[in-house]
Amino acid sequence: MNIIRKGELLEVIIPAKWNQITIDQLLREVWSGPKKQIHQLRTDKAVLLNGEQANWHFPMSTGDRLQIKFFLEKDFGVIPSFHNIDILYEDDHLLVVNKPAGMDTHPNEPTEVNTLANAVAFYLQANGEFRKVQHIHRLDQNTTGAILFAKYPFIAAILDRMLEQREISRIYLAIIDGMIKGKKGTIQKPIGRDRHHPTKRRVSPTGQNAVTHYQVLKTFPNQNRTLIQCKLDTGRTHQIRVHLSSIGHPLTGDLLYGGKPGYSRQALHAAMLTFIHPLTNEKIECRAPFLDEPPIFPDQSLEWIKR
């Protein structure tokens, strides 16, 4: 599909499959854009068709040139701060970053500068892109792996919806204490706050619905540990950590949830992120290399993942 950035504009050459649909249909039905932002685009007269102000309800034709002002400069929303980061994928619309251990996803206070969001802001600034940094999901401070960022509000809203509707697949690798029974399973237990600990979560009948699927990849009998992969239907805080602890197999190194010592952090890594690009329809698959020194996961673990 012919979609390119030209300065502030996203330019789309209308393909045959979109012949005779309107701009309104494209934004609302094809791209499933958010109503609020579509309304703002209309109010700002930010959409052109063949170089002129567009009639949103007039059918477009194959070969028409649609231009939308998506790439307006914005304040980063965080303080740009240099940190080495591993970019797994990037285009004009989004980027996927491999988060190291010991780093928060985003600041909790405006003055914080040591988070992944600060590092992404610096990276964008160094490349001449002034964009509000928008993470689509989070990882705990001591969980490593792939995190998806959007570069402008329209794409962020679409990616948020895709995540909610499970159109973005996230596969985690985890090393757990003990030899788990069976090759695969599903944990469906609601998760809520722990009244006795400010940052801890627990299984609670009054908590939010949470579903974790797991599959055994390799066992380590001599260490009494198991390597599993996890896939989430929901994205609750500490979900994998709480769920695995609740069935008697906490993450190795996760002292907060009863895991045995063994590593400098909980053995959890967001290994793979897969989705269909909402604008280009390309399949994006990102595998996040391990960053730990000394290593936690076996080198071959990424190859053992089962779809």
Which residues have a catalytic role annotated? 140
Alpha-helical regions (H) of the chain: 23-25, 35-43, 116-126, 153-164, 239-246, 301-304
Query: CA-to-CA distance for 191 and 77, rounded, in angstroms?
Result: 30
Token pair in block for residue 67:
């231009």
Residue 6 pairs with which residues in a beta bridge?
A: 9
Rounded to 10 deg, the angle between the 35-43 and 153-164 helix axes is: 160
Query: CA-to-CA distance for 145 and 100, rounded, in angstroms?
Result: 7
Q: Which DSSP letter does residue 257 get?
A: G
Peptide bond into 221 cis (omega under 30): no
| 8 Å CB contact between 96 and 148 | yes
Query: CA-to-CA distance for 288 and 265, rounded, in angstroms?
Result: 18
- Identity of the amino acid at 153: P
Token pair in block for residue 205:
């009948």
| 8 Å CB contact between 218 and 298 | yes
Helix (H) or strand (E) holding 172: strand 168-177
